[in-house]
């Protein structure tokens, strides 16, 4: 069931359809996305958390702390570049620095396309490899993280979605200078939730916009200067978005302490997504089986997880993790453990 068809059958009021679908900016929605994707993501934001006071990076810190309680080794800045495969099973992962990691099971949470390339086409059936590699990817994004001067803009405990026109289909359109549609989110610290500590502004951007720099890589672990043209490119689109923000907060330009930008190249370099896409393959109600990626791969001990497999965004990460663990541990066992924990907590 497609989202647009569902809303069209629900009401003939175009503005109402646009409102009900207005926050599809959050997950790169489009008219043919399955209705369940929209419904589950929106439900998670209604019933659960939609922002972390003090920032989302604490999720990573707490997760690593818990992993270390279980004596798990965590390696930062350790990029996998290839795998050694014997008798249809991975024996070792080879890191960029030359280190070798052996294991019985391997779970990849980066883009499945990237994982298949790392393992090697020769280890998969041609039809399977070609289907995954030819899947249409979701669009990329351009975002600006703005650190504000203290006590300047009042904190609003909600996300804001800006559309210049009443578009009830909400196609994932890339940024344009005249009619940018964007998401604005605020953050505050625990001590002072009266004023915003920062703003994040996010809009869509095609990889074609940054294709001139596709052969460059720039991360904290591997810093590279992409050049003055790239900096000018980012500055241009930053100005476009900041000008829009100033229509809402007229004094915004004067209270910016600093800002940082991301492009599709940032997403590609940091989290291994093909061409910097936001959420892996496009999900479509027109051909739902085409974008289906099983958590168990065609390699005996290789599993997929993450937002590129099951569902978009942080909800996709959570659902994907449960699905992958269920494949390894058994669904009945895992669900019983989850239910037991819920009863203990509540």
pLDDT over 90, % of the chain: 56
Can you tell me the mean pLDDT for 336-345?
85
User: Shortest CA distance to 296 belongs to which of 316, 325, 335?
Assistant: 325
Chain segment 292-305, per-residue pLDDT in tens: 899 999 999 999 99
Lowest mean pLDDT of 8-17, 91-100, 142-151, 281-290, name the range: 281-290
Handedness of CA 158, 163, 166, 168 (dihedral sign): negative
- 159 CB neighbour count, 10 Å cutoff: 17
Q: pTM (2 decimals)?
A: 0.88
Q: Rounded to whole angstroms, what are the CA distances from 192 to 106, 236, 245?
A: 43, 33, 22
Chain segment 140-190, per-residue pLDDT in tens: 999 999 999 999 999 998 889 888 777 776 665 555 555 578 999 998 887
- Please give the pLDDT value at position 312: 84
Can you tell me the mean pLDDT for 81-108?
94
22 band by pLDDT with thresholds 50, 70 and 90: confident
- Please give the pLDDT value at position 164: 78
């Amino acid at each position: 069931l497609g989202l647009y068809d569902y809303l069209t059958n629900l009401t003939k009021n175009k503005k109402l359809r646009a409102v009900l679908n207005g926050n599809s900016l959050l997950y790169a929605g489009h008219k043919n996305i399955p209705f369940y994707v929209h419904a589950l993501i929106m439900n998670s934001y209604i019933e659960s958390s939609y922002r972390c006071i003090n920032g989302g990076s604490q999720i990573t810190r707490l997760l690593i702390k818990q992993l270390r309680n279980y004596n798990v080794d965590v390696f930062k800045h350790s990029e996998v570049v290839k795998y050694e495969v014997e008798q249809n099973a991975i024996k070792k992962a080879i890191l960029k620095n030359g280190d070798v990691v052996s294991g019985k099971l391997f779970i990849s949470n980066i883009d499945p396309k990237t994982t298949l390339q790392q393992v090697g086409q020769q280890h998969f059936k041609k039809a399977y490899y070609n289907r995954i590699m030819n899947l249409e990817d979701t669009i990329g994004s351009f975002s600006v993280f703005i650190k504000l001067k203290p006590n300047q803009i009042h904190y609003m405990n909600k996300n804001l979605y800006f559309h210049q026109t009443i578009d009830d289909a909400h196609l994932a359109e890339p940024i344009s200078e005249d009619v940018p549609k964007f998401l604005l989110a605020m953050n505050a610290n625990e001590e002072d939730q009266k004023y915003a500590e920062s703003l994040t502004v996010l809009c869509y951007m095609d990889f074609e916009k940054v294709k001139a720099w596709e052969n460059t890589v720039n991360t904290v672990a591997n810093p590279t200067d992409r050049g003055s043209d790239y900096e000018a490119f980012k500055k241009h689109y930053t100005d476009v978005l900041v000008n829009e923000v100033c229509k809402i907060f007229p004094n915004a330009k004067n209270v910016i302490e600093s800002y940082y930008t991301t492009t599709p190249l940032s997403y590609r370099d940091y989290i291994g997504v093909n061409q910097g896409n936001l959420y892996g393959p496009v999900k479509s109600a027109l051909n739902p089986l085409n974008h289906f990626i099983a958590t168990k791969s065609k390699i005996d001990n290789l599993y997929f997880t993450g937002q590129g497999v099951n569902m978009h965004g942080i909800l996709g990460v959570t659902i994907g993790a449960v699905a992958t663990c269920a494949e390894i541990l058994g669904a009945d066992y895992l669900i019983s453990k989850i239910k037991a924990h819920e009863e203990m907590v509540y």
